[in-house]
Structure 1
């Protein structure tokens, strides 16, 4: 924008200067030529009174004095064909002037001024002088140089003013862009300063209003989520008390473990909603340990539904840039999709390997019907009446660590989910 404004002012200023200076330069040249011709005409006209005298001695003396003082060469052509003064060829212009017409003729190297002097007994005499091209253009070069310097100075002044103005406008626009980037990064307390123009001030005011409104909405969302989570935890406490009355110790232990895990998830939701920002807070864990723990947890339900769960042991620790709770939530979401969207007895497999560039790759595949709804990674999209948030949670967790989530089809034709997690 700054460069475009400067180029626009440069083009406009140049057009104005050309429209002003070119005619002025031509006028200067014309005035200089007219000045030289007028001076020469006055000089030869002053000799007309001497030409009409019978005695040519005063005329000859006056011409000699003029030549000695460095004046213009003057020649007098008499009607009888004789001449006095500087030698000069009798041209067609001289013959024309001899008919009584004073003329100015262009000759090689300059111009000749011819003044007809009438009143002589034998006819009309002609007084001729010569003005060179150098005399006609005397002072023109200097005047043109001054005009050129003036034009360059005016152009430079215009560019300086345009650059100052453009810098002010561009600076305000860049500040607004910087504020928008800060807001996009989650720093909602950033505010824009008023711009240099009324339009930019309006944009800054609107951007500040938008940032304030976003803060209000996020605060309301956090309070609502925290309130809902707190209500859920209250109900979980009541459920825990009910579980104590179960007679089967093993069944009671499994149910209590499930309730404890759910309570931890609810507590994590409350902590997350109380954070100043929803941006990734970082973290790390051992993917082999977390995935192995969640596989052992879900293996009990898989056994109850006659599902074959295949999970080869991972080789060694696999550190990833995801917190332990976030990774556990991702694994639970993927396993929950398998149990919710495939018939009982459908086998599924879990794979966990190290990536060449660091981190880990988690795959979950089944032999069910596969994905039937496109764009399942979009938030709220589901093909089985669920909330559709499971894959969205997994995707956001993967992206926060620098990884990706890929959906595909397994070899038997079922669903295949590949979760790539970057190294810390």
Structure 2
């Protein structure tokens, strides 16, 4: 933007300087020509009284003196045809001046100033010649000086424009930096109210927006933490109920489920209070652990669980807790939307550009509306938060969540691509 502002000022200044310099250059050229013609006219007027006396000898001596001392050559055409001074052709303009007129005429090499002077035996003509070089004498130097002044003014204008643009861009760069910090999650970033009034207004609005975002996030975290705390009471009741069961196998199964729910609740509270940056984990270890947990429920519902996991370590840019939550959401989706006895498969493979790909495929009825699932929602009456969890996990790692059909065109396939 600084370069654009400088270029704009430079273009404007150039147009102004051209509008000033071109007429000035023409004026200088015309002024030089007028000065030369005025000097030549003065020379001819000074010679007129001598020629008017009709004294040929005196006139010849005076003309020789003029030609020796002055820059403009003088020629006198005497009525009897005698030519005194600088040789010159008797042009049509000379013939016209011989009628008793005074005039200025152009020639092939410049201009001639002519005076017709009446004598007793006719009319003498005084001719003063000004060459083209004399008409433009000093013009080149004046033009050069004018060009230097114009370039200096343009350079000064560009320098001032660059400095002004730099000072103007300081608050703009500050606003951009604060915006980037806010986008990266730094909610304490604030812009300085500096610069022109418009930029100060933008800075104030950005700070107000940041305060509002911070308040909303804090309120949301408090609500999540409060909800998670409220779940502790029914979890405690469930744990007591599990301890009171007489069948050891059923008690162990229920205690494991309660422990898993309690772990998820504690994790939700921790994330609500202290949102953490994206970490890294071994996808093979986390996926294997979550598949093992859900295998017990698969046995209870007569589901065949096929597992194909690439050997680890297979590192991804996602914390183990977030990956576990994403896997739980995908596997829970299979149990929630397919009938008991439906087989499913979990595959883990390396990603070609780093990371991993997790495929959860089932042999159920499939996805009735891919557009709905692409928005992270289901048609089964659920809130759709499970798929949103998986989608956010994929995006946080630099990957994506993809929906499709299972092998052979049967069932559903949900692919979790992790970077």
Report the counterpart of residue 128 of structure 2 in structure 1: 129
CA shift for structure 1 position 407? 1.6
Normalized per residue, the structure richer in helix is: 2
Closer/same/farther in 2, CA of residues 34 and 251 from structure 1, 3 Å limit:
same
Looking at structure 2, the residues matched to 165 and 89 of structure 1 have their Cα atoms a distance apart, in angstroms, of: 65
- 1:314 shift after superposition: 5.5
Give the equivalent residue in structure 1 for 2:80: 80
Q: State the partner residue of 2:220.
A: 221
Q: Does 1:325 align with 2:324?
A: no
d(CA) in 2 for partners of 1:355, 1:34: 86
1:151-186 CA-to-partner distances (Å, cap 9, x unmatched) read 111111111111122222333323222211111111
CA distance in 2 between counterparts of 1:58 and 1:217 reads: 110
Cα pair distance change 1:343/1:30, threshold 3 Å? same
Distance 1:160-1:205 versus aligned 2 partners, 3 A rule: same
Q: Distance in 2 between matches of 1:72 and 1:319?
A: 97
User: Is the 2:337–2:380 contact (alpha carbons within 8 Å) kept by the matching residues of 1?
Assistant: yes
- Contact conserved, 1:377 with 1:395, CA < 8 A, in 2? no
In 1, the alpha carbon distance for the partners of 2:327 and 2:71 equals: 110
RMSD between superposed Cα atoms in Å: 2.1
Residue 25 (structure 1) shift: 1.3
Q: Does 1:241 align with 2:237?
A: no
Residue in 2 that maps onto 1:338: 334
Confirm or deny that 1:405 pairs with 2:405.
no
Aligned to 1:168: 167
Following TM superposition, by how much is the alpha carbon of 1:367 offset from its aligned partner in structure 2, in angstroms?
1.0
* Equivalent pair of 1:280/1:400 in contact (CA under 8 Å): no
Partner SS for 1:62: helix
1:274-301 deviation line (CA, Å, top 9, x unaligned):
11x4x5331324x444333333332332
Distance 1:232 1:54, change over 3 A: closer
Deviation at 1:146, TM superposition (A): 1.0
SS of structure 2 residue aligned to 1:46: helix
Aligned to 1:282: 279
Aligned to 1:115: 115
Matches within 5 A, 1:198-209: 198-209=197-208
1:356 CA displacement: 5.4
Aligned CA distance change for structure 1 residues 77 and 385 (closer, same or farther; 3 Å): same
Offset of residue 99 of structure 1: 0.7
Unaligned runs of 5+ in 1: none
Shift of 1:416: 1.0
Secondary structure (helix, strand or coil) at the match of 1:311 reads strand
Aligned length: 417
User: Which residue of the partner structure matches residue 31 of structure 2?
Assistant: 31
| Distance in 2 (alpha carbons) for counterparts of 1:52 and 1:359 | 112
Match of 1:406, SS state, is strand
1:267 and 2:266 correspond: yes
In terms of mean alpha carbon deviation, does 103-112 or 81-90 score higher? Answer: 81-90
TM-score by length of 2: 0.93
Gapped runs of 5+ residues in structure 2? none
| TM-aligned CA distance change 1:71 to 1:382, over 3 Å | closer
User: What is the alpha-carbon distance in structure 2 between the residues aligned to residue 59 and residue 310 of structure 1?
Assistant: 130
1:291-347, Cα deviation, whole Å (9 max, x unpaired): 333333323322222222223575455444443333322222112111110112212
- 1:59 is aligned to 59
Shift of 1:48: 1.9
Q: Which residue of 2 aligns with 1:392?
A: 388
Deviation at 1:253, TM superposition (A): 1.4
- My pick for the range that moved more, 83-92 or 211-220, is 83-92
